[in-house]
Amino acid sequence: MIPMANRIDHTFECLRASDRKAFIAYVAAGDPCFDESLRILKALDDAGADIIELGLPFSDPLADGIVNQMAAERALKSGMTTARVLELVRAFRVTSETPLVLFTYLNPVFTYGFEAFHRDAAAAGADGVLLLDLPPDEALDREMAAGAHGLRRIRLIAPNTPPERMAMLADASEGFIYALSRTGVTGAHGGPSEHLSEMVESIRRHSRVPVCVGFGISTPEQAGMVAAAADGVIVGSAIVKQVELHPDAPAEAVGRFVQPLIDAVKQVRGAGS
């Protein structure tokens, strides 16, 4: 069961109290298989990740680059389903209270059942959900129908989001805002935008929750730069790539890769939102 104080909220409260920034890691659930995926989650936890985003494998991930597309394909081939992802969440909860955000497209949620997905995800131990392709104009009606179930609803805001829509998304956000450092699909290419600080500040003017930045972050130097501007750093494709590159020991490779990024983020001080 989700505790009365959501784990995401509690984590950011602790980070603010210690004047630190968040490191948020993304991995594909079930990549390369259920058991190894659980070991990868534990490796991220042991390395000090503050929040973990868990991607539901989907056959048509339009917003993802090739690295995450291949990860989803590997997970699907291993037999992962939405129900198995929730089993993975439950297995992780046996040993960890690190917040988990389910990162998904609408299709798997509708196939499972919109209300049932939110209910079962919360019961399994998830703390938030990010629905990539749910139009913000329709989100409130859908989410009201689903019921809260304690899950925080994470919103995406891109650099080219119009000011009026940015204000609407920021005001409706829960847990934290996922701000894209640049436009395009996921992937380590491109690097964070040089206008990152300006974008974060414009979002903060409308936000009641922390602003975290992802897309194009793959080195400790980039992680530190983003942490200096935002409340948290999100790294995805660069972590997922380690699973592809090290099929014999992906959990160990992920742990080695993220440690210097996490260390770089932890060195940055400065109270955020």
Are the C-beta atoms of residues 172 and 205 closer than 8 Å to each other? no
Residue ranges and CATH numbers for the domains of the chain are 7-266 (3.20.20.70)
pLDDT band at residue 3 using 50, 70 and 90 as cut-offs: very low
Q: DSSP for 177-230?
A: EEEESSSSSSSSSS---TTHHHHHHHHHTT-SS-EEEESS--SHHHHHHHHHHS
Over the stretch 143-200, which tens digit does the pLDDT of each residue have? Answer: 554 556 889 999 999 998 999 999 999 988 899 999 998 765 555 455 666 778 999 9
Query: CA torsion, points 60, 145, 24, 185, in degrees to nearest 10?
Result: 30
Single out the catalytic residue among 9, 64, 127, 174.
Answer: 64
pLDDT tier for residue 63 given thresholds of 50, 70 and 90: confident
Query: CA–CA separation, 64 vs 230, rounded Å?
Result: 23
Over the stretch 129-157, which tens digit does the pLDDT of each residue have?
Answer: 999 888 776 655 555 545 568 899 999 99
Q: Band of the pLDDT at 7, cuts 50, 70, 90?
A: very high
Q: Spot the catalytic one: 50, 53, 127, 231.
A: 53
| Residue 143 among the catalytic residues | no
Q: Is 53 a catalytic residue?
A: yes
- How large is the C-alpha radius of gyration of the chain? 17
